[in-house]
Amino acid sequence: MAGSILEIKDLHVAIEDQEILKGVNLTIKGGEFHAVMGPNGTGKSTLASAIMGHPKYEVTKGSVLLDGEDVLEMEVDERAQAGLFLAMQYPSEISGVTTSDFLRSSINAHREEGDEISLMKFIKEMDAAMDYLDMDKNMAQRYLNEGFSGGEKKRNEILQLMMIKPAIGILDEIDSGLDIDALKVVSKGINKLRSESFGCLMITHYQRLLDYITPDYVHVMMQGRVVKSGGPELAQRLEAEGYDWIKQELGIEEETVGQKA
């Protein structure tokens, strides 16, 4: 299967009447890994949440297309079924629903009725993915994210990513709160998905993640826009020199969204 294309065009997004994104343009194709970087408060996570359809975010202008289909017209579950996946920065805790039951429902939601995954096949795949991510097997029977440590929640997000195998994966600060060993494991899981049929958008404000997952493209966000794009070398320069040179180059004094340019 050839890869999908996610096109974000002039995207404006507001939360509680405050505009956070002020015209984001990005195109992600199957096989490509994009990193969106930037200091805190510049709209990176808003971008991820708005694409997935978080109820608090309102798209005020622009479009998001997946293989030409209007994503913004879709309900959240339809977006997922169309091939989008968001590994969340703060996954919800859901009491009484086991991780395993949730995963199975998720996988079946991507399949036709009557073509549900067999229990044996599901368990086999889940065990393999959990081994790959060095996860404690007991986690499958624990309630979804309830009482999970920060690291366990992130691994659980990647477990879902690996099992659902979306066309486009968006990772919202998957590296935050992870120690270096956990980061290596999580990266290993993400790298395993690399193929022509998988496109990835990684949101991070640390270069650290990109030491383990090499991006094809790097974008810098400030003031709710993508202000600079480049290859992996851009990330390395940010690591070495920080963001100040970009601000100087573009004449930006305050990079966060609340300020005027």
Partner 1 sequence: MTVDTKLPYEKDYVSKFSDERNEPEWMKSLRLQALELADSLPMPTPDKTNITKWNFSQFKHKAEGQVIKSLDELPDDIKVFIDMENHDKNLVIQRNQSIAYKSLSSELEKKGVILTDITTALHEHSDLVQRYYMKDAVAIDENRLSALHTALMNGGVFVYVPKGVVIEEPLQSIFWQEDNEVATFNHVIVVAEENSSLTYVENYISHNQDQQAVANIVTEVIAHDNASISYGAVDNFAKGTTVYVNRRGVAYRNATIDWALGQMNDGHTASENITHLIGDDSTSHAKTVTVGRGHQIQNFTAKIVHFGLASEGYILQHGVMKESASSVFNGIGKIEHGASKSNAEQESRVLMLSKDARGDANPILLIDEDDVTAGHAASVGRVDPIQMYYLMSRGISKTEAERLIIHGFLAPVVKEIPIKAVREQLTQVIEGKVY
Sole binder of partner 1 in the list 37, 52, 203, 221 (CB under 8 A): 52
Task: Give the Cα separation of 169 and 146 in Å (integer).
Answer: 24
**CB-based contacts of 11-14 (< 8 A; 24+ apart in sequence):** 11/47, 11/50, 11/59, 11/61, 11/62, 11/63, 11/64, 12/59, 12/60, 12/61, 12/62, 13/43, 13/46, 13/47, 13/50, 13/57, 13/58, 13/59, 13/60, 14/57, 14/58, 14/60
When the beta carbons of 88 and 235 are compared against partner 1, the nearer one is 88
8 Å CB contact between 159 and 122: no
Q: Name residues contacting partner 1, limited to 144-183 (CB under 8 A).
A: 160, 164
Pattern 10-49, partner 1, x by CB under 8 A: ----------------------------------------
Pattern 86-115, partner 1, x by CB under 8 A: x-x--xx-xxxx---xx--xx--xx-----
Sole binder of partner 1 in the list 25, 27, 60, 81 (CB under 8 A): 81
Grouping H, G, I as helix, E, B as strand and the rest as coil, residue 18 is strand
Sole binder of partner 1 in the list 53, 189, 199, 215 (CB under 8 A): 53
Smallest distance, partner 1 to C-beta of residue 193, A: 16
Q: Which range binds partner 1 by CB under 8 A, 76-84, 129-137, 184-192, 226-234?
A: 76-84
Tokens standing for 246?
Answer: 């970009």
Q: Is 117 in the site for partner 1 (CB under 8 A)?
A: no
Smallest distance, partner 1 to C-beta of residue 198, A: 16
Q: Is 85 in the site for partner 1 (CB under 8 A)?
A: yes
Question: Which residue ranges make up the site for partner 1 (CB under 8 A)?
Answer: 52-55, 75-77, 79-81, 85-86, 88, 91-92, 94-97, 101-102, 105-106, 109-110, 143, 160, 164
